[in-house]
Chains A and B, each alone.
Chain A
Amino acid sequence: MTHEDMESIAALDALGVAAAGDLSALAQHISSCIPCRRARDEYRRAVTLLVMALEPVSPPPALRERASSSL
């Protein structure tokens, strides 16, 4: 696959919908390709920032206690 193919897979990886086989190929490729690794990291960061930009919603306070007590 080409670098462009890998970049496309990296974009789908960031969205959480890349196929397993493609992810394996991407992982192997970026172990030796710095530009594609950077693309993977930047796509992931972009999507993370979009989630962090959502207006926060406080969950019910009881959930915090429930989570702690279930550890």
Chain B
Amino acid sequence: MNTAGAPATALLPDVARGNVSAFEAFYDRYASTVYALLLRILANADDAQEVLQETFVKAWSSAKMFDAVRGSEVAWLISIARSRGIDRLRSRKIRNTREDEAGREVSIHGSFIEHTTGADKAIQSEECRAVRSALAELPEAQRTALELAYFEGLSQSEIAARLTEPLGTIKTRMQLGMRKLRERLQAFQ
């Protein structure tokens, strides 16, 4: 279930105490969001499922490290999932490069943009819709740079090389894009 609406009661404190029922509730609350993210990063169901399991097992073992002052539990979980997803993507690329020296000029990368149903939108918070809308309104070149960074873990230099654009251009695009997202979010504060 997508939980972008009203804040739900935090489950991680109980998970940190070793409560398996709390862990299962935590899984039920976030697994579909994390799985959607991992499918975007990895574009492969088997890999996404393996990393999904790794992510939740890591959350179980590291729950005591969670600090609510530094962010929400879903942000913490997404950070774990994204990091592990990128690690898997990189190891797969190394393997693929070794197996196929031809490589790829420009890979298909994950995107935040997609067609959603009315029902999906209805359960998203206004903040979610606003930030998403701001992203959709960005020039494609800005959005692509942000998505290459987030979904492929590429540095600004790597994005510049991938897109054969000057590094300064990429830096500017990313900064402008992120500022636009932030500005839209500030309207809610």
Residues of A within 8 A of B (CB): 8, 11-12, 14-17, 19, 39, 41-60, 63-64, 66-68, 70-71
Contact = CB atoms under 8 A, between A and B. Distances in A.
B28 to A, nearest CB: 8
B49 A60 contact: yes
Q: Please list the 4 inter-chain residue pairs (A to B) with the smallest Cβ-Cβ separation, ordered nearest first.
A: A56-B32, A11-B178, A46-B181, A52-B4
Contact of A43 (B36, B56, B171, B182): B182
Given A17-B153, A46-B185, A66-B53, 19 more contacts: A11-B179, A15-B149, A16-B86, A16-B153, A17-B150, A42-B185, A43-B178, A46-B181, A49-B128, A50-B181, A51-B33, A51-B78, A52-B33, A55-B36, A56-B36, A57-B39, A59-B48, A63-B31, A63-B53
A56 B23 contact: no
B57 A71 contact: yes
B16 to A, nearest CB: 13
B53 A53 contact: no
A24 B152 CA distance: 23
